[in-house]
Structure 1
Amino acid sequence: MVLANCRAQFTATDFDFVARVLSRQGSRISLIELLSDPECRDEMLDNDALTRALLSREGQVQVSQQLYFYILARTVLRRQGIEDRELADYIGALLLKFSKTQQLQSPHEKLPHQFNYIVEMLEALATASAAEAFLIRVHIGNYALFLSGMFHAWVERRQQRGAPDFSFYEDIGRTSFKTAAHHKLAYQLELAQVYHQLADGFRPARLALNELARRVWNPDAEPPVAW
């Protein structure tokens, strides 16, 4: 499962990085504040100096993937008017998970399913249990957001050959997150609100990832799966 937990996995090296970068900006930053005050830490993480540092070679080698993906996701989401930190945390975790090819193809480590196409996921819903259907629905939403967000040029190229366009990914993503948001497991995992936000704001989230891909990704890259 993708959980909104990037901020819960920051390392001591991450906190040191944040303190050093912000100190260069004239801010009086204490590691004790970063470690003990979550609200103060969240405000510090919104500083644009951190984004600039992470996009430099120096920044990329000094932090965890959790910090890297959270800050960049938070930055591009805010530019689309999405201010919720939990949602940025979730999308940061999504990018981290799908950076591993095998995670992109599997809804959950305990399920045997391996998917390359959304149609295969939809077909699997017909015989899935309630819990399996929830996991597959979430995976469809995540998958649609990741592909249409991080591989904009790839979707456009395939669209010219008759493949689904962005409206397809947006519709299937919204529907999947909306369905998942009402499942009892979404409440148990404290993800119902995140799923609701993605259902209502799938397009702005997708556009945010389009921007992120342009900044940190090869814009002509194809998804790291066999098609």
Structure 2
Amino acid sequence: MVLANCRAQFTANDFDFVASVLSRQSNQRISLVELLSDPECRDEMLDHEALPKALLSREGQVAVSQQLYFYVLARTVLRRQGIEDRELADYIGALLWQFSSVQRMHSPHEKMPQQFHYIAEMLEALSKASAAEAFLIRVHIGNYALFLSGMFHAWIEKRQQRGAPDPSFYESVGRSSFKTAASHKLAYQLELAQVYALLAEGFRDTRLALNELAQTIWKSKDKPPFTL
């Protein structure tokens, strides 16, 4: 599943990169011990405006993990939309990281054999799913709707002219899916109930943040790396 765990998977190279960039900004060496041992200090450092600039340069792209790359960029654009919750930024970073794999985009969970290419297929599958499977599918619908409408908004608007679902469809189905998932017992066990609730309430603002990110890292009219 997509979990809010980017920050838990940073590598030694990630910490070296952060320390190097911030040391140049403050004219003093940032202690790696601080980054590794103090979560609050780490989180404050990750909010520094120098990091997204460095990550969008050639230097950042070759030096760090996808987890650091997507977390910092997601955190940056979410804050511009007034979304300050770090767990939500961690979740969005993990979503972008995992959905960079086409296979992961079409599967709610590695233990589920179904491969979905349309939201309609996912909604239909709910009628035959067990309670646990329905939860996984609901979460996947929310993730899928947010990813497509956030990172490929211009492409969705273009397809709308040919009768495909418009952006409001993705927002509606995404919000309702996250809202349903937030109340499921598995959401509490996974410590994701609050994240899902925030996504249900703030789906549009999160989508707008991803729209900005998409315009930053690739051409706005690019289509997803798969065929619908």
TM-score, normalised with respect to structure 2 = 0.98
Partner of 1:150: 151
Partner of 2:208: 207
Alpha-carbon shift at residue 224 of structure 1 (Å): 1.5
Count of residues in correspondence between the two structures? 227
Distance 1:126 1:95 in 2: 28
Partner of 2:183: 182
- 1:5 equivalenced with 2:5 (yes/no): yes
Partner of 2:226: 225
Cα distance per residue 1:121-170 (max 9 Å; x no partner): 00000000000000000000000000000001110101111211111111
> What amino acid does structure 1 have at the position aligned with 2:52?
T
Structure 1 segments, 4+ long, off by >6 Å, are: none
Cα distance per residue 1:48-67 (max 9 Å; x no partner): 10000000001110001100
Helix, strand or coil at the partner of 1:164: coil
Distance 1:80 1:147 in 2: 18
Partner of 1:63: 64
CA RMSD of aligned residues (A): 0.7
Alpha-carbon shift at residue 226 of structure 1 (Å): 2.3
Stretch of structure 1 that moved more, 212-221 or 190-199:
212-221
Helix, strand or coil at the partner of 1:110: coil
Mapping of 1:68-217 within 5 angstroms?
A: 68-217=69-218
Where does structure 2 lack aligned partners over 5 or more consecutive residues? none
Distance 2:218 2:104 in 1: 19
Alpha-carbon shift at residue 27 of structure 1 (Å): 5.5
Mapping of 1:24-63 within 5 angstroms?
A: 24-26=24-26, 28=28, 29-63=30-64
Judged with a 3 Å threshold, the aligned counterparts in structure 2 of structure 1 residues 91 and 147 are, in CA distance, closer, same or farther, namely same
Where does structure 1 lack aligned partners over 5 or more consecutive residues? none
| 8 Å CA contact 1:116, 1:225 repeated in 2 | no
Judged with a 3 Å threshold, the aligned counterparts in structure 2 of structure 1 residues 83 and 27 are, in CA distance, closer, same or farther, namely farther
